[in-house]
């Protein structure tokens, strides 16, 4: 065994321990087929990316990758996996904070079609093993259904209209945007069936509403919001200073109505008892810490899911809030280049997916084209 293979074998033994037991079974199976340690490490990287995305999207209740049960893979819907494809095509900045243990070159640019196809191929291999090759002590397959069998590996076959259809059912449009923001602040109280839940909501509703309103009024990534410091806010210009993908400095805008919620939160930020010199804009309280501390990304993801479910949109997530802003922007301001700058996209093609979300405009254009008099 070469030095490189020996090193990869050791890394494989260490890394696989952070995965669910069924991934360890898969690795043992691939070893029996003479797969190299380097190849298996590549599989694990792809699995880790997908599992952490599942946790971020609320598709599993597990908070540690190792604890994701087989049932959550069995229950995955085709639409969810298609959303993962969309995510890969965008390649967000916050993947470096949530999904990757170390920043990689691929985290600084959008993934190529070939890379996306490889990531999906890795998942197809795992799901095929779990549904068709592996069996438990009763001789039953680990998975009763294989959602990955329904996914096209060639991502170029997923058209912008197909991606748009997947997005449309899970986002807020027009008056739904303001209705949801109001629901977070006021309407959710009706779902607090205990005094403890009521007090918790009243404690955090200014903060939660401000975060939701900022994303919906500026299209920011959740990592950009939680990493904000007080000195990054330029209220008089409705701007937020931030470092975006590729370590680019930027100062995107937010709306006046979003500003109103931000100001209201800032006026009440002291209730979190921040330590002297604490610069984080958005804070959280913890029983183990005497002072308010910077809110964690997982906390935001969880409360957006909570509010979305109560609102009647269980698929709503922080990323879908960003989708909502982008779609509404193009609905009212048909300039994708302006939206590209606001969202921090490196490619206009990524921005253009939102142009297809509202197919009512396309339908009207078709009707105008075909409703002529002979």
Using H for helix, E for strand and C for coil, what is the string for 304-351? HHHHHHHHCCCCCCHHHHHHHHHHHHHHHCCCHHHHHHHHCCCCHHHH
CA distance 304 to 62: 17
CA distance 37 to 267: 55
pLDDT tens readout for residues 45-98: 999 999 999 988 888 888 899 999 999 999 998 888 888 887 887 654 334 344
Question: What pLDDT score does 129 carry?
Answer: 94
The question of whether 221 is a catalytic residue gets the answer: yes
pLDDT (average), residues 322-341: 87
Average pLDDT in the chain: 83
Question: What pLDDT score does 182 carry?
Answer: 97
- Compute the half-sphere exposure of residue 353: CA atoms within 13 Å on the CB side of its CA: 24
- Asked if residues 49 and 57 have their Cβ atoms less than 8 Å apart, the reply is no
Catalytic residue among 259, 319, 323, 356: 319
CA distance 28 to 185: 50
Question: What pLDDT score does 136 carry?
Answer: 82
pLDDT (average), residues 297-304: 90
The percent of residues in the chain predicted with pLDDT above 70, rounded, is 82
Spatial CB neighbours of 243, under 8 Å, sequence gap ≥ 6 = 249, 250
Question: What pLDDT score does 287 carry?
Answer: 85
Place of tokens 């890379």: 115
Question: What pLDDT score does 87 carry?
Answer: 80
The question of whether 322 is a catalytic residue gets the answer: yes
Catalytic residue among 49, 261, 265, 354: 354
Structure tokens at 27: 């690795």
Catalytic residue among 201, 207, 345, 356: 345
Catalytic residue among 170, 201, 205, 221: 221
Structure tokens at 313: 């949109």
Return the domain boundaries, the chain: 3-158, 175-365
- Asked if residues 277 and 149 have their Cβ atoms less than 8 Å apart, the reply is no
Question: What pLDDT score does 103 carry?
Answer: 40
The question of whether 119 is a catalytic residue gets the answer: no
The question of whether 354 is a catalytic residue gets the answer: yes
151 Cα distance to chain centroid: 20
Question: What pLDDT score does 164 carry?
Answer: 60
Question: What pLDDT score does 86 carry?
Answer: 78
In CATH terms, the fold of domain 175-365 is hpI Integrase; Chain A (1.10.443)
pLDDT (average), residues 277-297: 92
pLDDT of 130 higher than 50: yes
Question: What pLDDT score does 330 carry?
Answer: 85
- Asked if residues 353 and 164 have their Cβ atoms less than 8 Å apart, the reply is yes
Question: What pLDDT score does 96 carry?
Answer: 38
The question of whether 205 is a catalytic residue gets the answer: no
- Asked if residues 151 and 279 have their Cβ atoms less than 8 Å apart, the reply is no
- Asked if residues 103 and 96 have their Cβ atoms less than 8 Å apart, the reply is yes
pLDDT (average), residues 294-311: 92
Question: What pLDDT score does 369 carry?
Answer: 46
CA distance 126 to 50: 12
The question of whether 269 is a catalytic residue gets the answer: no
Pairing state of beta strands 233-234 and 293-294? Answer: unpaired
Structure tokens at 211: 């975060």
CA distance 171 to 70: 28
Structure tokens at 60: 């599993």
| DSSP β-bridge partners for residue 284 | 293
CA torsion sign for 72, 145, 314, 79 is positive
**304 phi/psi in degrees, rounded to 5:** -65, -40
pLDDT of 374 higher than 70: no
Question: What pLDDT score does 371 carry?
Answer: 45
pLDDT tens readout for residues 88-119: 876 543 343 444 444 444 344 456 777 888 89
């Amino acid at each position: 065994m070469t030095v490189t293979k020996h090193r990869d074998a050791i890394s494989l033994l260490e890394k696989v321990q952070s995965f669910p037991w069924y991934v360890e079974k898969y690795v043992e199976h691939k070893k029996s087929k003479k797969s190299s340690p380097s190849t298996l490490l590549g599989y694990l990287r792809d699995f880790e990316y997908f599992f952490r995305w599942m946790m971020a999207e609320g598709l599993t209740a597990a908070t540690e990758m190792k604890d994701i049960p087989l049932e959550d893979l069995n229950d995955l819907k085709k639409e969810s996996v298609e959303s993962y494809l969309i995510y890969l095509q965008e390649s967000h900045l916050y993947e470096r904070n949530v999904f990757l243990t170390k920043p990689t070159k691929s985290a600084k640019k959008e993934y190529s079609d070939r890379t996306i196809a490889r990531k999906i191929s890795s998942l197809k291999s795992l799901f095929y093993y779990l549904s068709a090759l592996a069996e438990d002590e009763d001789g039953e397959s680990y998975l009763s259904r294989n959602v990955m069998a329904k996914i096209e590996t060639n991502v170029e076959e997923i058209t912008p209209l197909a991606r748009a259809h997947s997005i449309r059912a899970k986002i807020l449009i027009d008056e739904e945007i303001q209705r949801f923001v109001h629901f977070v602040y006021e309407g959710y109280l009706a779902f607090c069936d205990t005094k403890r839940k009521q007090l918790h909501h009243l404690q955090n509703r200014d903060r939660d509403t401000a975060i939701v309103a900022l994303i919906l009024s500026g299209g920011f990534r959740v990592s950009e919001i939680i990493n904000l410091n007080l000195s990054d806010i330029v209220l008089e210009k409705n701007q937020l200073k931030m470092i975006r993908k590729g370590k680019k400095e930027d100062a995107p805008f937010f709306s006046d109505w979003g500003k109103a919620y931000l100001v209201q939160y800032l006026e009440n930020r002291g209730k979190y008892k921040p330590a002297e010199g604490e610069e984080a804009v958005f804070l959280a309280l913890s029983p183990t810490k005497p002072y308010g501390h910077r809110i964690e990304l997982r906390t935001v993801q969880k409360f957006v899911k909570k509010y979305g479910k109560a609102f009647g949109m269980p698929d709503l997530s922080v990323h879908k809030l960003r989708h909502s802003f982008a779609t509404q922007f193009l609905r009212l301001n048909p300039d994708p280049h302006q939206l590209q700058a606001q969202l921090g996209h490196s490619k206009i093609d990524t921005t253009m997916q939102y142009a297809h979300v509202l197919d009512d405009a396309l339908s009207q254009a078709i009707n105008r084209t075909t409703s002529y008099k002979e």
